[in-house]
A and B are shown apart, each in its own frame.
Chain A
Amino acid sequence: MDIKILGTGCPNCQRLEAHVRQAASDLGLTADIGKVTDIAQIMKYGVMRTPGLLIDGQVKMAGRVPTLDEVRRILETAGATPAGPAPAGAAPAGR
C-alpha cells in the first residue's frame, strides 16, 4: 500500500503522520508511507485543506486530523480493496 501525507509541514500534518504510522503498525500493514510537501503537487490532487491523506493515488481525507480509530478504519477499507485493476482511471478522486 502506498500512503502519502499531503501537507506543508504544519503541526496537524505531523499529527496525521503519527496516526497513520501507528495505525499501519497496529494493523500489521506493509505500507510505504511518504509525504508530499510541494504545494503545487498537493493542489494537483484537488486538495484545498491540509493535511490530506492519499492512499494508492486516491484522496481519502482532507482538512482535519482524524482520530487513530478513524485512520485504522480508512486503512482497513483501503486494504480490503487493493488498488488492482479495478478503479477506472488513476485520476485522484474523493470519496
Chain B
Amino acid sequence: MLDWLADLITFRLLGLSPETRLAESVRYFLYDTAKVLLMLALIIYVVAVIRSFFPPERARRLLSGRSQFLGHVAAALLGIVTPFCSCSAVPLFIGFTEAGIPLGVTFSFLISSPMVNEVALILLWGLFGWRIALLYIATGVTVAIVAGVIIGRLHLEGWVEDYVYQIKMGETAEEVLTWPARHERALQFTTDLLKRIWPYVLVGIGIGAFIHGYAPQDFLVRFAGPANPLAVPVAVAIGVPLYSNAAGTIPIVQALMEKGLPMGTSLAFMMAVTALSLPEMVILRRVLKPRLIAVFVGIMTVTIIFVGYLFNAIL
C-alpha cells in the first residue's frame, strides 16, 4: 500500500520519470518516511503500555538481593522494559545503590536501558527486518552483561561519590494503574516523543534517500569495507558525539549499508550512538568520580569495537 502511494506521488503527482536519480531518491524518501512514522507511532505506544508494568521501583525491588550473575542478566533485561530517561539517571543510580544492588549490576541496567531503546528497535525492524533487530537486542543485552560484570569485578565502589552512600531513601507504595490510565499515558508519551523526534527522522531519511539515489554503488567498500581494520574504531569514534539520536542516524546507516558498509561496522556505529552519550556522562558525573566514568567509557568502547569485528568476521 505504501509502495503504491509513494509511486503515485513520485511519478504521477510530481511527474518525475522513473529510473532517474531524483525520482529514485524522492520515492525512497516518501516510502521510508511514511513507513517509519507509522511504525514509530504504533510501537512507541505498545512499548509505553508494556512499560507501565515496570516502574523503576519494581526493577529496584527485583534486583536487590539477587545473586551476582543472575543479577546482571535480570538488570540487562529490566533495562529494556523499565521506562527511564537519562535525566533520572542520578536518582535511579542512588536508589539502586541504596537498595544494596552491586555497582556492576547497576551498570548492566544503565547500559542496556539507552542502548536497547524502542526507537532504535523500530527503525532497525522497519528498515532492516526483524532478524537484525533481534540481533541488535541480543548483542546489546550481552554487551550490558559483560561490561557490567567487568565493572563489578574491578571493585570500583570507592570511585562512586561518597555522599551517595549516605542517602537514605524513603518508601513509596508502587502506583496501581488502571487500563484507561495506562492507555492515556501511553498515548501522551507517544505524541510527546513523536513531536520531539520527527524532524530528526525526516532529516535522517532525507540524507539516506540522497545517498540511496546519488552515491555510487559500493563506494563505501573501498575505504570502509571489511578489509580495512580501522573502519570499526573510526565508526565508533564518529558515533559517540551523535549521542542517542537513533532516530536520525539509523536511516543513514541503512543507506550506507546498501552502499557496502559491513554489518559489524554498522552495529558498532549504532551502539556507539545509543550507548555512549556525552550528556549522560555529564549527568552521571554527579554520582561517579571521573576515574569511574573513564573506566566505563573505556570498557564500553572496547566492547563495542569487539562486537564490530566479531560481526564483520562471522556475517
Contacts and interface: CB of A to CB of B under 8 A. Distances in A.
Interface of A: 8, 10-12, 39-40, 42-50, 59, 62-65, 67, 91-95
Contacts of A8: 87, 90
B173 A94 contact: yes
A50 B88 CA distance: 6
A39 B91 contact: yes
A59 B169 CA distance: 14
B205 to A, nearest CB: 26
A47 B172 contact: yes
Contacts of A92: 170, 172
Contact of B167 (A11, A39, A59): A39
A70 B166 CA distance: 35
B175 A45 contact: no
Contacts of B98: 43
Q: Which of B98, B170, B171 has the most CB of A within 10 A?
A: B170
Contacts, number: 76
A10 B91 CA distance: 13
Interface of B: 55-57, 60, 83-85, 87-88, 90-92, 94-95, 98, 163, 166-175, 185, 188-189, 192, 286
Contact of B188 (A42, A50, A67, A94): A67
Nearest to A39: B90
Contact of B95 (A12, A48, A64): A48
Given A48-B88, A63-B56, 13 more contacts: A39-B286, A40-B163, A42-B91, A43-B169, A44-B169, A46-B57, A46-B170, A48-B56, A48-B57, A48-B60, A49-B55, A49-B91, A59-B172
Contacts of A67: 188
Contacts of B92: 48-49
Nearest to B83: A63
A49 to B, nearest CB: 5
A40 B168 CA distance: 8
12 contacts: A12-B87, A39-B286, A43-B94, A43-B95, A43-B98, A48-B88, A49-B92, A50-B88, A63-B83, A91-B170, A91-B171, A92-B170
A10 B94 CA distance: 17
Contacts of A63: 55-56, 83, 88
B98 to A, nearest CB: 7
A67 B189 CA distance: 10
A95 B98 CA distance: 23
A42 B286 CA distance: 15
A29 B175 CA distance: 26
A15 B31 CA distance: 35
Most buried by B among A50, A67, A92: A50
A46 B171 contact: yes
A44 B170 contact: yes
Nearest to B172: A46
A43 B88 contact: no
A63 B55 CA distance: 9
Given A48-B60, A49-B91, A40 B167 contact: yes
B170 A49 contact: no
Given A10-B87, A43-B91, A49 B172 contact: no
Contacts of A46: 57, 169-172
B145 to A, nearest CB: 23
B91 A64 contact: no
> Which 10 A/B pairs are nearest by Cβ-Cβ distance?
A46-B172, A46-B170, A10-B87, A94-B172, A48-B95, A94-B173, A49-B88, A43-B169, A40-B167, A44-B170
Given A43-B170, A46-B169, A95 B90 contact: no
A48 B90 CA distance: 8
Nearest to B166: A40
Nearest to A15: B192
